[in-house]
Amino acid sequence: MRNINLDVPGLRGTWTFDGQRSGIGSADFLLGYPSGAQLSNLAVVDQRLWMLSWFTQDDWKVTPKLTLNLGLRYDFATWPYEGADRMANFHPLTGQTFTPVNSPYGRGLIRSDKNNFAPRLGIAYQLTSNTVLRIGYGRFFMLFERAPTRVEPSFPGE
């Protein structure tokens, strides 16, 4: 279980003007053509997720000079959920709203990816008594992570 304290990105919202309409970002601003907008929640969010990973490997000496290293890693993470279940998800095509109470996917409101099997392969070949050539391959999955920043709210009188 991993508890995450999220930063609040923009309490008053964020507007982005990148020049999609006029070719110049400041001109899009003056014309009132934003390319994106964001509105944040003023409440403190107690976001959590659950992660599981395992790894196994073995070395196989094919010849006195050639060694194979075979491995397999598995990574699983739930989608983040709010500790007090104060989260909702809206499906724009069906108009349906999901909450942790009625979601078919659990508290994270989205189906978790359960097929993150990542093979590893390594080959080591001894060219001479002082030189070994090594190559490797691995597939990797990025689980939910965030930038390592933390904002502590301060209140008058504390």
User: What's residue 158's pLDDT?
Assistant: 42
User: What's residue 87's pLDDT?
Assistant: 81
User: What's residue 150's pLDDT?
Assistant: 47
Domain boundaries, the chain: 1-44, 46-144
User: What's residue 143's pLDDT?
Assistant: 66
Measured over the CA atoms of residue 146, residue 148, residue 149 and residue 152, the dihedral's sign is positive
User: What's residue 55's pLDDT?
Assistant: 95
pLDDT along the chain (158 residues), means of 10: 58 82 93 83 73 94 97 90 82 83 84 91 97 96 58 44
Please state the pTM of the whole predicted model: 0.60
Residue written as tokens 């349906």? 96
Q: In what order do the strands lie in the sheet with 81-82?
A: 2-5, 46-49, 81-82
User: What's residue 46's pLDDT?
Assistant: 76
